[in-house]
Amino acid sequence: MKATYDQRTDTLTLILKVGATVVESDEDKPGVILDYDAEGHLVSLEVLDASKRVSQADRIELETVG
């Protein structure tokens, strides 16, 4: 999994499956784009205007449980 924040475009991208080919994108809610592979699996999501939607868009924290 990979997460990036681009300050220039104010976009937060979460790539769930690195290297997957995106064949379909859907704007689920305004400003939230979901990307799918050929099998219909969610492979990434993009949050536009991230600084307005996410607290501390430039800080990523990962926690695993179990």
Task: Answer yes or no: is 40 within a domain.
Answer: yes
Task: Answer yes or no: is 16 within a domain.
Answer: yes
Point out which residues pair with 11 in neighbouring strands.
6, 48
Length of the chain: 66
Element (H, E) at 44: strand 42-48
Task: Answer yes or no: is 25 within a domain.
Answer: yes
Q: Tens digit of pLDDT for each residue in 11-65?
A: 999 999 999 999 999 998 999 999 999 999 999 999 999 989 888 777 777 788 8
Task: Answer yes or no: is 24 within a domain.
Answer: yes
Look at the pTM and tell me if it is higher than 0.95: no
**Total domains in the fold of the chain:** 1
Q: Quote the domain boundaries for residue 20.
A: 2-53
Task: Answer yes or no: is 46 within a domain.
Answer: yes
Task: Answer yes or no: is 49 within a domain.
Answer: yes
Q: Tens digit of pLDDT for each residue in 6-25?
A: 999 999 999 999 999 999 99
What integer pLDDT is reported at residue 35 of this predicted model?
97
Point out which residues pair with 4 in neighbouring strands.
13
Task: Answer yes or no: is 64 within a domain.
Answer: no
Q: For residues 14 and 22, what is the distance between their CA atoms, to the nearest angstrom?
A: 13
